[in-house]
Amino acid sequence: YITIDTKSVPIEGEKNVLSLIRKAGIDLPTFCYHSELSIYGACRMCIVEDDRGNIFASCSEQPKAGMVIHTNTKRIQKYRKLIIELLLSTHCRDCTTCQKNGMCSLQDLAFRVGVHAVRFLNNKKEMPLDMSSPCIVRDPNKCILCGDCVRTCDEIQGIGAIDFAFRGSQTQVMPAFDKNLADTDCVG
């Protein structure tokens, strides 16, 4: 058993703490976690705090008997809000004209954690859209680098048409050699 927000939850083969949190009926936000894909742990939205004050991503932490987990402490709330602000800081800010407005998980989560304005300037250079594919529009200005598309393309489709390129603040998801999606093996 582990204790999650005062609930005792049995470990029955779950591979990560996040699975036990969801088993306990607790809605913990995630962006980069999908049970069908490999663990990436990049978004940090699923952070939790243990009884010693350690903070970690619950999606990549193996459960151990006796763990005591807190999912929504003041400290965690503060960090989640900062994480969303940082994700939004390099995200285009045209939400009101975006076709996903009102159906966007990033927008929903921003409201949920109390982000009503972003304190940080977006100094990222605007990138052109890749509209070459008949079924996918690749907009690097909206990418939050969660890695879902990269892992899905590689692990589910088995194609590997896109991947991470560059480092640090220059990181992008794109086809190799800056090709258009239509010029890759992408199956859409």
**178: number of Cβ within 10 Å:** 9
Question: Which residues face 47 on adjacent strands?
Answer: 57
Task: Report pLDDT for 91.
Answer: 84
Contacts of residue 159, defined as CB under 8 A and 6 or more positions apart, other chains included, come to 153, 184, 185, 186, 187
Q: Which of 106, 125, 131 is nearest to 170 (CA)?
A: 125
What gap in Å lies between CA 139 and CA 127, rounded to an integer?
8
Task: Report pLDDT for 34.
Answer: 82
Which H/E stretch holds residue 74? helix 74-89
Task: Report pLDDT for 123.
Answer: 82
Q: Which of 21, 19, 69 is nearest to 49 (CA)?
A: 69
Q: How far is Cα of residue 22 from the mean position of the Cα atoms in its chain?
A: 17
Task: Report pLDDT for 4.
Answer: 98
As averages over each run of 10 residues, the pLDDT of the chain (188 residues) reads 97 96 95 85 92 96 97 96 90 81 88 90 89 93 90 94 93 94 93
